[in-house]
Structure 1
Amino acid sequence: MNLTKKALVFTLFLVTQFTFAQYTEVINSNRPGVSKSAFSVGTNVLQFEVGPYIIKEEHTPLNYDVSGFGADFTARYGLFFEQLELNIEGIYQNDTYTDNRSTISFEESRSNFKQFAIGAKYLVFDPYKNSEEKDKPNLYSYHANRGFKWSSMIPAVAVYAGVNIDSKDNPYTAPGIEGISPKVMIATQNNFSGGWVLVTNLVKDRIGTDFSDFQYIITLTHSFSPQWVIFGETQGIQSDFYADNLFRFGGGYLWSKDFQLDTAVTFNSKDTPSVFGVNFGMSYRFDFHVDKEIDNGTSRADADKRKPKNKKDKKKRTDDFDDNGNL
């Protein structure tokens, strides 16, 4: 990689670190992990994120196991404002449920959406919006540039509101869950020095149903080069139908400014049921973003407006000045 290319890649990396509220030159994906960033993809950006996976579950007390595959997917679009994002997300799974409680095992093939939701996310607070001046590097102190900044403890905050759409007799949802139900979320994001990012999601799902659940997701990401990122994540789920604590570890690779690859493993620490999964994901964006022009009165059109429209106006302007050029 030549020096020019290295400089370009490093510049793109810095852009993603310090201009999250605005459109970024490289893709801004929620992957790897399942948490949602506080920041949007940018206006007129259409982005797809998908992650095929394999899953294995074993429930020791109830003596059953599940094995199969699926895919989680998200479509994101930035509309009207830099802070606003519309999205569609879901998880589709196809598996075999095996009941081992009798001498002869019973197998059942299942397939359906574990989740399907449509919603919108809006960035309500961005502590990095006007931080260009205070984040300028100190040319005389290496340690000052590498030091911890207390301002990074203030997170960006976004809110999400959407609706779940659940089909009748879905094997992956609680009994009686069907139709439309609300979903809300608060997402926070801290961008620390050294390429560390902390994302937290607090989710209230299927509000108003008999089995509404609460989830928290905490993701810590570290980019140790312009192309490579690693992450660790914990997800807690609590409801009367299902409760769990899931852990994920993995990494991502920036293939190009519009294309990202990632992989992760998921597991838990219990046997009711035990969970183990492996996924391979990708994110791609269609970039139709156009920067808004800032009118500071110096454009050619503005200059033309200030010119005298005829000779009479030009003479009048000239007569208004004295011999020293003052009005």
Structure 2
Amino acid sequence: MKVKDFDFYLPEESIAQHPAAKRDESRLMVLQKETGEIEHKKFKDIVDYLRAGDCLVLNNTRVLPARLFGAKEDTNGKMEFLLLKRVEKDTWETLVKPGKRAKIGNRFVFGNGELKAEVVGMGEEGSRLVRFEYEGIFEEVLDSLGQMPLPPYITEQLEEKERYQTVYSKEVGSAAAPTAGLHFTEELLQRIKDKGVEIAFVTLHVGLGTFRPVKVDDINDHHMHSEYYQMSQETADTINRCKENGGRLIGVGTTSCRTIESIADENGKLKEQSGWTEIFIYPGYKFKALDCLITNFHLPQSTLIMLVSALAGKEHVMNAYEVAVKDGYRFFSFGDAMFIHK
């Protein structure tokens, strides 16, 4: 199967540059995965498509304000750092610009010196291993100095940091938001619970590999980036109970989907687990546990549109995307949502 099989025309004006005025007022395309039938709704209407006994799985990761602007200690040359993932306590895999100024042993300073850094090694694809020095709690230092690492296709500044966090975000560690969850409000989640739907949480820390283009022609040659996940026994029990009782397991976002499918055994059973996943889901993949998916509209030729096509069928998905473009749906992180159901 070729990467170009997942291409489609996407005009630049379809890329959402800012969130909807209200989280749950974004649009919702409802796609029946067996028939390809499409309905057009508001996101808050998702309640009408959920049933008592279903289980909704949310990724409670929280985005680090991981973009830092500083200076080289000896020359005062301006530098930009983007934290990708923690390697050990104070050492991070980091993208540094300009890279030629970031050799092993080079030192950098941020703010008024409350954060300092040294390049201690080389990482993958030109990244650097950077060790940070600070007083107090690293996350609090980052909160005061860092900016949200918005995806490269969003060119406008974000006025309110929390709009790039889900309302249930908790576990700090992502380089990007699990964007399907951005549509939920506290009130909407309560309405869903009141309907008898179980809500369970997993954690998958989203890496910037999410935004990296697929550089091979044949999708079988693509190697997925690695992301850290964890699932509690409570969540595993909730999911197992839902499946045993005939409920549908609904992932909120491709990150929840990848976590569930990384952990599920061949019988679709789950248990408490944590680790790193490189699971790559594309058409032909047999889902072990997941039934339905809430997700945003993704990039052409991306691993995410391949995952969605594995669940709903490539023809149904590519048709739905064509309809979405014609009908003015907003794409990507701050865009509209799709509910793939059965």
TM-score by length of 2: 0.29
Q: Which has the higher contact order (CA 8 A, sep 6+)?
A: 2
Largest Rg, 1 or 2? 1
Greater helix percent: which structure?
Answer: 2
TM-score by length of 1: 0.29
